[in-house]
Amino acid sequence: MPTQSQTWFEEAYEIDLGRTFKIRINRTVERFASPFQTIEILETAPFGKMLVLDGVVMCTEWDESSYHEMIAHVPLSTHAAPRDVLIIGGGDGGTAREVLKHDSVRRIDLCEIDPDVVRLCRKHLPTLASSFDDPRVTVYAEDGAAFVAARPNEYDVIIVDSSDPIGPAEVLFSKQFYTALRSGLREDGIAVTQSESIFYHEDTVAQLVSYARSLFPVWGYYTTMVPTYPSGTIGFTLCSKGRNPVTGFDRERTAAFADTLSYYTPKMHTASFSLPARVERRLS
């Protein structure tokens, strides 16, 4: 792990598999050992401030928009009238920031198991975490799986903005959790879950898609480009009780705030569901 005297951060997540990347850092802004994990805010030379949990990059100021915009606007543009939204994870505030751009949204419950992630992001990453100041947002420091299981038929959209399937996030990659997501959604509800990389984690992706296929009448897997994530891409499993995310989404939903977006467009929305041939074969 980097210290004040070191100049390079090396990500831990894939290193046992013989792959990693390094980012030069200018300084450690803050490091804190919470009851759940080690939280670091690092100031990097090329990417601005960076949030790291247990040695794994969660986001950087430079490329966070391509992740947060796609995890939020794809489901919210697909749902007919999203009002009540649950975000599981998302302690940096970026997903809530994007959800709040939709005027139809009246309530966001954000369930982040580690309140210190929220605290440090509010302190050091205000371009993301200022979303917590909006009165429509309520933050709960609880286990996300238990939280959604206790709230059947309550949400129009559920967004699972989780870390990788290790430590406190591991339960969010189980079929039991996807079953709870189905229960937590209303009749026309949509859920989206962070679902790893089609290049590095194909087995995990296939497993998550199998859960969606077995539990929801409409499902899909889509991707976005995030250069500071393993392989430079990350994907999402979309689980819908009704509308199709490719043919049934509202192309005008984001028009009112299009000038605030860096990555998402209706064309990117559609294109993100196009997958490489080998992945299509694996997920079909």
Separation CA 281–CA 284 (nearest Å): 5
Task: Say how far apart CA 68 and CA 242 lie, in whole Å.
Answer: 23
Q: How far apart, in Å, do the first and last CA atoms of the chain sit?
A: 40
Contacts of 191 (CB under 8 A, 6+ apart): 75, 157, 158, 159, 160, 181, 182, 184, 185, 238, 239, 240
Catalytic positions:
161
30 touches 19 (CB < 8 A)? no
Tell me how far apart the alpha carbons of residues 97 and 134 are, in angstroms, rounded to a whole number: 9
Residues 254 and 229: beta-carbon distance below 8 Å: no
